[in-house]
Amino acid sequence: MPNQSIPYKKTGYFSNLICDYLAEDVSLKPFYNRFPNLENFKHQLQEKQQYFTDEKRHLLSKRIMFQYGDNSLSQSTLSNIDLLREHTTFTITTGHQLNLFTGPLYFLYKIFSTINLAEQLNKAYPTNHFVPVYWMATEDHDFEEINYFNLFGKKVKWDRKASGAVGELSTEGLKEVKQQLKKEFGESENAKKLISYFSDAYTKHDNLADATRFLANSLFYHHGLVIIDGNDKELKKCFIPYAEKELTENLSYKMVSETTEKITDLGFSEQVHPREINLFYLKEKLRERIIEREGQFYVNETDISFSKKEILKELHENPERFSPNALLRPLYQEEILPNLCYIGGGGELAYWFQLKDYFNKVEVPFPILLLRNSVVLVPKMLSDKLIKLNVKIEDLFLPQHELITRHTYKISKIEIDFSKQKEFLKQQFKNLYTLAEKTDVSFLGAVGAQEKKQLNGLENLEKRLLKAQKRKHSEEIDRLKNIQNQLFPKQSLQERQLNFSEFYLEHGEELLDVLKENLEPLDSNFTVLEL
């Protein structure tokens, strides 16, 4: 089976909002800046170049180098960090949570989409330079979302008590997870490499942010990826003016609410609900919402409170204690990065659409939004089985009951579809209706009731015949169900359920090479890759 592309709309796994965006539906144009194509990056970089200052560039480069600490960096990454000081350098950015051992497969897809787009732009615009950036979501606080990954149908879980920003969590307890993985992975060379990745990241670093930086740097070492942690006092100083407006004017709430209403009026769903204040207060083991009541500011679920004057003083003296939520993080990101494009999943892009008017109001350039590559990896053994069953890969995107019904119709040696009989029956009753109208109109109800009864009878016969054929071909149907269950675990996209380690055990570094080679970020189709 050669590698394939399938339109996102045909997969059934992507929202109408995302499908309409990819189709460049004119109704969505007010909610983004420029559509992602090579030509539009020329205008985007001109806009960002006029906005972004040399002072911010130098600060950014300096703070990123500081954050890397004693990590070993490739020459390409070092060069990219240094090039961030130049006014002709721009970033292509993706963000992701600090999931244990990268979490779901799409972590790799996001970052390779970002790396490959930066490389394409470097070729298309050789007088500029484009740097791929991974923004670590170190300030998130939902530990239950990130403390596990799926392996061979089971959860590998990091059990501990947690509070505050996840990036600051100590890596206590991960040595035990390493021992569990040793048993699961086995003794192959690829297994040893995986254990090395895990051990060097999680047992040799004190907190989750440092561990995640090390792991991502190791996996993408040769590709010039630059990793940034927004939880940085010096960088957050750049965000003070916007945080002030948030505290004193509720500006994002007003603007995002208006935009969201326009989006919902078009029939799309609200992705993120704006709050009056979209900031958290952040200290050790604490990240809680800031709430204003009658001029007083409270930190939710604590005894901490401030007057207006006190909280503004706290903001200026300790900006690192103010943490943007999901709606404000994009603005913070675009303020401190010379960024042209954000690459994210469907849910991420949906809340970016809610922000366009807010960005306009605060006069910050709105980036190009690009849907990350989505992939299903098909082991050759399963690909060969599909060929024998004469089943196309796109059929596997169907809900399982539809897939089985369609396949049963196809392989049955007898005609299951009673459509012809139903049409014939409807024609006979059409004649009866004509006859009834000519003789006795009161007879029409009886004719209608009889037609419905007979059609229902044919429906029931068809269902019974289909059920019988499914039983007769149960062996082949079970083989097909098993293939779909492997490629779409829990009737979900593979990329959301499996961890990269399952494929790495079989293919090693070749897995990363195949993804790097085959992911085309500007191709608006779902990718099928045979391994």
Domains in the chain: how many in total? 2
121 vs 466, more confident: 121
Helix (H, G, I), strand (E, B) or coil at 421: helix
Asked whether residue 158 is assigned to any structural domain, the reply reads: yes
Question: Residue 64 has which token pair?
Answer: 């990123």
* Structural domain span for residue 41: 4-238+326-374+512-530
Residue 310 lies in a domain: no
Residues 404 and 460 in one domain: yes
Question: What mean pLDDT comes out for the span 497-506?
Answer: 98
Residues 408 and 517 in one domain: no
Do residues 427 and 476 share a domain? yes
* Residue 1 confidence (pLDDT) above 60: no
Domain annotation covers residue 430: yes
CA distance 398 to 13: 10
Q: Tell me the three-class secondary structure of 437-454, residue by residue.
A: HHHCHHHHHHHHHHHHHH
| 229 and 92 within one domain | yes
What is residue 425's predicted lDDT score, i.e. its pLDDT? 67
Please give the model's pTM, rounded to 2 decimal places: 0.93
Least confident of 121-125, 184-188, 406-410, 425-429: 425-429
Q: Are residues 77 and 131 in the same domain?
A: yes
Question: What gap in Å lies between CA 315 and CA 219, rounded to an integer?
Answer: 37
Check pLDDT > 90 for residue 446: no
Q: How far apart are CA 255 and CA 354, in angstroms?
A: 9
Express each pLDDT in 79-102 by its tens digit: 999 999 999 999 999 999 999 999
Give yes or no: residues 391 and 526 share one domain. Answer: no
Reported as a single tens digit per residue, the pLDDT across 379-435 is 999 999 999 999 999 999 999 999 998 998 888 878 877 677 777 767 877 877 777
Residue 186 — left, alpha, or beta (φ > 0 → left; ψ -120 to 50 → alpha)? left
- Mean pLDDT, range 357-374, rounded to an integer: 98
Q: What percent of the chain has pLDDT over 90?
A: 87
Q: Does 336 share its domain with 447?
A: no
Place of tokens 């004649």: 431
347 with 473, same domain? no
Write the pLDDT tens digit of every residue in 322-343. 999 999 999 999 999 999 999 9
Does pLDDT of 455 surpass 80? no
pLDDT at 346 over 90: yes
| Domain membership flag for residue 285 | no
pLDDT at 282 over 80: yes
Q: Is the alpha carbon torsion for 270, 273, 279, 280 positive or negative?
A: negative
165 neighbors 178 (Cβ within 8 angstroms): no
CA 249 – CA 292 distance, rounded (Å):
11
> Do 220 and 342 share a domain, yes or no?
yes
Rounded CA separation 94/373 (Å): 12
522 and 390 fall within a common domain? no
Question: Does 197 lie in the same domain as 92?
Answer: yes
In whole angstroms, give the CA distance from residue 520 to residue 234. 36
Residue 46 in any domain: the answer is: yes
